[in-house]
Amino acid sequence: MVKVAVLGYGTVGSGVVEVLQKNQDAITEKLNETIEVKYILDLREFPGDPNESLVVHDYSIILEDTEVSIICETMGGVEPAYTFSKKALLTGKSVCTSNKELVAAHGPELIRIAKENHCNYMFEASVGGGIPIIRPLNSSLTPEKIEGITGILNGTTNFILTKMRDEEADFADVLKEAQEMGFAEKNPEADVEGHDAGRKIAILSSLMYGETVKYDAVSTEGITKISPIDFEYASSLGYTIKLLAMSKENNGAPFAMVAPFLINKSNPLFAVDGVFNGILVKGNMLGNTMYYGAGAGKLPTASAVVGDVIDCARHKNVSISCNWKESEKQMHSIEEVSRRFLVRFKATSETTQPQMKELFDASKVIVLEASKSEFAVITGVMTEAEYKRKAEKVLDILGMIRIEE
Ligand code: HSE
């Protein structure tokens, strides 16, 4: 019998208990051993809950119970999750987490402590919710040199962008609706400003390089400035707009970024709509593989946590390989990365189509039927720095979106 404790009985924590209890027979059959939840740690009481008797408020009860070998940390936030996880690992208890904030901030240290104490720090649920992506990077893709990872890593913003496109709606209206439907947080900043996706690509980049890619090294731009007219330009060109998180090399210089991008049908991420996530991983031998599914939500995320619990139960006193060192990977700024840009201008006597076409070495000028007061160009291929230099010379830029070819 494997006994586990769940820290935090919120959405994911209660999902973990549900998956372990509902699928207990199936899990026992596969593992040859039964997994049982012995404790649930939470500050709150849960009167009437079928698991009410498992709730404790004092973490030392769990820490000191030698029967408990695995901890599911589903509290979120850095503290006290960091201190609790560290203490568990130091006593040889494995920790399985969905907490991307903690993994991005202290992942490699916790992995090292786990190794030193012959247990495991597992974090499949921290990126892509229920989608298996950490385990493929750590095991199936080991023979590969990973050349790039590009993903839609945030369900909330993908839901908002999909609805804006399909219903020709404003960002603010769709955000409000998403909040009412429970798809967006009351404080949506981490999602809509790209910070959540930034933490996730920092984690994936660290696994890609085997060294720590700090979240601060990820250039981050959110979706708050995207408007229905951007989708009109996009659709007139056969593109859609997605918040992409990417990590790759530009002439040997690694960079990671999150920003809205125009992508067309030939990109497999084009079809990833709604709350779903999709992650494209390019290996130097294998080429592209894509991982798709529910990137958030109670049971998908809980299922990923339980997958890690089962892995820990299969590897008692054995450290499962995870190549993520504490040393920092030097990342480069995106300034020297080249691409095309879609740039929108207010049409004035100083900002004319021929002038902007020439300044931005544009291959195309687009004027929408509905709006003669503005136009857009698709620039020639240029670096971010070049684009900025040119854009500084123009007063009437209404917006810019990068194009991912
Ligand atoms: N807020 C996150 C999202 C939850 O929308 O994807 C899953 O990490």
Last residue of a domain, one of 253, 281, 314: 314
54 CA distance to ligand 1 centroid (A)?
Answer: 28
Ligand 1 mean position to 346 CA, how many Å? Answer: 35
Q: Is residue 181 part of a domain?
A: yes
Contact 371, 233 (CB under 8 A): no
Q: Cβ neighbours of residue 333 under 8 Å, at least 6 residues apart?
A: 219, 255
CB 250 within 8 A of CB 332: yes
330 inside domain:
no
Number of domains in the chain: 3
Residue 74 and residue 48 in one domain: yes
> Is there an atom of ligand 1 within 6 Å of 295 CB?
yes
Statement to judge: residues 215 and 362 lie in one domain: no
142 and 287 share a domain?
A: yes
Beta-carbon count within 10 A of 197 CB: 31
CATH of the domain at 38: 3.40.50.720
CA angle 177, 293, 262 (to 5 degrees): 65
Quote the CA–CA distance of 126 and 233 in Å, as a whole number: 35
Choosing from 93, 100, 200, 242, which is the catalytic residue?
200
Asked whether 99 lines ligand 1 (CB < 6 A), one says no
Q: What is the mean pLDDT of residues 268-282?
A: 97
Residues 304 and 243 in one domain: no
Q: What are the tens digits of pLDDT across the range 330-353?
A: 999 999 999 999 999 999 998 999
Q: 274 and 144, same structural domain?
A: yes
Q: Which residue's C-alpha comes closest to atom 7 of ligand 1? A: 296
* pLDDT surpassing 90 at residue 285: yes
36 is written with which tokens? 């049982």
Distance 336 CA to ligand 1 centre (A): 30
pLDDT for 202 beyond 90: yes
Identify the residue whose C-alpha is closest to ligand 1 atom 8: 296
Is residue 14 domain-resident?
A: yes
CATH (domain of 277): 3.30.360.10
Q: Is the sign of the CA dihedral 277, 282, 283, 286 positive or negative?
A: positive
Question: Domain for residue 11, yes or no?
Answer: yes
DSSP sequence for 170-226: -HHHHHHHHHHTTSS-SS-HHHHTSHHHHHHHHHHHHHHHSSB--GGGEEE--STT-
Could you tell me if 212 and 351 lie in one domain? no
pLDDT at 401 over 90: yes
309: Cβ below 6 Å to ligand 1?
Answer: no
Q: Does 183 score more than 90 pLDDT?
A: no
Residue 252 gets the label, from left (phi > 0), alpha (psi -120 to 50) or beta, of: left
**100 CA closest ligand 1 atom index:** 8
* Residue located nearest, by CA, to atom 4 of ligand 1: 296
- Say whether both 77 and 178 belong to one domain: no
pLDDT score, position 371? 79
Instruction: From 134, 161, 191, give the residue whose CB has the most ligand 1 atoms within 8 Å, as the site to mutate.
Output: 191
| CA distances to 85, 93, 309 from 88, in Å | 5, 5, 14
pLDDT at 181 exceeding the cut of 90:
no
Q: Is there a single domain that holds both residue 122 and residue 31?
A: yes
Domain containing 347 — which CATH number? 3.30.70.1150
User: Within this chain, do residues 283 and 302 fall inside the same structural domain, yes or no?
Assistant: no
pLDDT (tens digit, 9 = 90+) per residue, 362-390? 999 999 987 789 999 999 999 999 999 99
| Whether 104 contacts 134, CB under 8 Å | no
Together in a domain, 76 and 182: no
In a domain, 319, yes or no: no
200 is catalytic: yes
Structural domain including 17 reads: 2-130+298-314
Structure tokens, 210: 């085997």
Mean residue pLDDT of the chain comes to 97
Considering the domain architecture, whether residues 225 and 107 belong to the same structural domain is answered as: no
Model pLDDT, residue 213 = 98
**Ligand 1 atom having least distance to the Cα of 157:** 5
Distance, in Å, from the CA atom of 397 to the CA atom of 342, rounded to the nearest integer, reads 11
Q: Tell me, yes or no, whether 380 lies in a domain.
A: yes
Which atom of ligand 1 is the closest one to the Cα of 153? 6
User: Could you give the 3-state DSSP secondary structure of residue 242?
Assistant: strand
Which of 264, 294, 324 terminates a domain? The answer is: 294
Same domain assignment for residues 285 and 348: no
Give the pLDDT confidence score for residue 370 in this predicted structure. 79
- Atom number, ligand 1, closest to the C-alpha of residue 126: 8
In a domain? residue 286: yes
Domain boundary among 294, 323, 347: 294
With bands split at pLDDT 50, 70 and 90, how would you rate the model's confidence at 84?
very high
Q: Contact 20/308 with Cβ under 8 angstroms?
A: no
Ligand 1, atom 2, lies closest to the CA of 154
What average pLDDT does the segment 82-105 reach? 97
In a domain, 16, yes or no: yes
Give the pLDDT band (50/70/90) at residue 221: very high
Which residue in 180, 163, 179 sits closest to 171, CA to CA?
163
